[in-house]
């Protein structure tokens, strides 16, 4: 039995099939609470990544990038993208190949978006900590990569949640 079949999703009842018998198990409040805390932690990491990218953009000494609202916007966008895009629903679409391709695409998008956003945040932090002098173009590219990675995470979360809803209707 695969590990993904053993661990139930914290958001809905899990279906276990043993021979001819099907058992539905609702997640406990403790598991739901743990899952909620995990998602809050992921959102906090995403917000931190947004803050580091905003700090790197502040080096451009442009009026917009030094704004508290801009920094807050980047932090909120990062928090939202990590909250939605990393912790995808674990239900796999059973049946038609195109249903499976939606969940596979969501997992690939989530992985790619997380990787791109994390590398951009890492480069931003290293630029700040080591006090590197980099060109303005490099800073803009790093910020653009972070925005693209975060957007891909949001797309992954949207695709995965739509696939779960469609699979649940059947």
For the residues of the chain, what is the DSSP string, one character each?
--HHHHS--SSS-EEEEETTEEEEEPPPHHHHHHHHHHHHHHHHHHHHHHHHHHHHHGGG--TTTT-HHHHHHHHHHHHHHHHHHTS---PPPPSSHHHHHHHHHHHHHHHHHHHHHHHHHHHHHHHHHTT----HHHHHHHHHHHHHHHHHHHHHHHHHHHHHHHHHH-
Identify the band that residue 170 occupies on the pLDDT scale cut at 50, 70 and 90: low
pTM recorded for the entire structure: 0.69
Is 60 exceeded by the pLDDT of residue 99?
Answer: no
Per-residue pLDDT tens for 36-87?
888 899 899 999 999 999 998 888 888 888 788 999 999 999 999 988 887 7
């Amino acid at each position: 039995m695969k590990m993904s079949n053993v661990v139930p999703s914290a958001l809905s009842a899990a279906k276990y099939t043993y021979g001819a018998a099907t058992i539905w198990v609702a997640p406990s409040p403790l598991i739901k609470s743990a899952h909620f805390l995990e998602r809050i932690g992921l959102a906090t990491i995403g917000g931190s990544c947004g803050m580091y990218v905003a700090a790197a953009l502040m080096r451009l000494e442009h009026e917009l990038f030094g704004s508290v609202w801009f920094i807050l916007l980047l932090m909120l966008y990062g928090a939202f993208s990590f909250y939605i895009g990393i912790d995808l629903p674990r239900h796999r679409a059973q049946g038609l190949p195109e249903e499976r391709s939606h969940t596979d695409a969501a997992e690939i998008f989530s992985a790619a978006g997380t990787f791109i956003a994390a590398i951009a945040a890492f480069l931003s932090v290293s630029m700040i900590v080591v006090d590197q002098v980099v060109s303005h173009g490099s800073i803009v590219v790093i910020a653009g990569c972070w925005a693209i990675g975060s957007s891909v995470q949001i797309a992954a979360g949207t695709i995965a949640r739509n696939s779960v809803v469609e699979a649940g209707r059947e």
